[in-house]
Structures are given as C-alpha cells and as structure tokens.
Amino acid sequence: MSRGDEMFDQVRQQKAALRKKMRAMREQVDPVQKRLFDEAIGHRVISSSVFESAQSILLYLDFSHEISTELIIRQALLLGKSVAAPVTKRGEQMIQAYPIDCVEQVHIGDFGMREPLSTGAPMAVEAFDLVIMPGLAFTHQGDRLGYGGGYYDRYLLHSKPSTVTMALAYDFQLVSDIPVQAFDIRVHRIITPTADIECMV
C-alpha cells in the first residue's frame, strides 16, 4: 500500500469512528429536549436574513434522529418560496431535487427515508438560493461530516456561486477538527439551538 493509500485509509477510519460517536450521542438526546432543540433551530433559520432573501430552497426531509425541518418547510411555503427535497435512487450515486407543495406530499424512498413524490422533471441545482443539509459533525470553519455517501459533495459541485449552504446541528455536533478530503465541501452557515455561525469558507 502506498503512502497516499495509507493516508486515505486512515482518514476513512477516523471519519467512521467520528460518525459512530456522533450517531450514538444524537440517539441519546431526550425526545422532549429534541423537540425543543429542533424548534429553536427552526426559528433561528426562518429568522435569518439568508432564509428571508432566498426564493428557492432545497432541504432534507428529516429521518430517524435528524433535526426536524418541518417548521422551515411550512414557513417557506407560507411565504411563497419554491421548496424542494432530495431523492436518492438505489444504485445511483447522486441526488435529484423534486419540488414539494406541502409537508405531507411525501413517500418512503428506496433507503427508507421520506422523499417528495418524484413526478415530472427534477429541479436543477443552479435553481437554489439556499441548500440546507443534514450531517453528523461540523467545525466552525464549515467542515462537514456527512453519512459517507458523498451525495451532497457531488451535487453541489454544479451549484451557482451565490448559493448558500447551511447545516443544522445540535451544539454537541460542533467539534474542533474533522478529517477532510479534497472533495469534501464546506458549508457557509451552521445553525444550532444557541447560535447562527457564519463559517470561514
């Protein structure tokens, strides 16, 4: 194994260990406290200037122990914004974005996650002013540890320069360092229950 391969393998192992740790911590959050945290995050998002100015938003539909996006979706639709959510097909290594007109307009996709009904043509990534992503850990510099598939990293390669990327996180998901690789894309903003962090991207 070359030195480059050894370093890649080491980073991969470090990421896997951090993912395991953060998943466990997230699963231990009390359900009542989780609801309060999620509401605080949601209100911070919809009160932000980034959200207010965005006309077209792509955001995830929360799954399992992820931070809820329902409040954000409802407010965006109420304000007449264009809202879409990702669809991931089994065997395909990419995201496609489809519009949603209400929170209930979803079904369970190939990976057991809620997804919009993918009828018609998907929306182009260049259409979005704001992209809100999930994740397991983040740094104040905007480094993001996702779930390991690289879906958002590949998808955002083609976004317009003005697109703002935002991540939702609990305070304990902010860490001092994340092992990163060249293809890992940073986020511009991180919203927690207690802070709106503008990252040094």
150 carries a ligand binding annotation? yes
71 carries a ligand binding annotation? no
pLDDT of residue 124: 93
78 carries a ligand binding annotation? no
Distance of CA 125 to the CA centre of its chain: 15
Specify the pTM.
0.91
151 carries a ligand binding annotation? yes
Q: What are the pLDDT digits (tens) for 113-164?
A: 788 887 778 999 999 999 999 999 999 999 999 887 888 888 898 899 999 9
112 carries a ligand binding annotation? no
16 carries a ligand binding annotation? yes
Nearest to 86 by CA among 70, 106, 68, 71: 106
Nearest to 198 by CA among 130, 129, 141, 133: 141
66 carries a ligand binding annotation? yes
- The residues facing 87 across adjacent strands are 96
**CATH superfamily to which 3-198 belongs:** NagB/RpiA/CoA transferase-like (3.40.50.10420)
17 carries a ligand binding annotation? yes
98 carries a ligand binding annotation? no
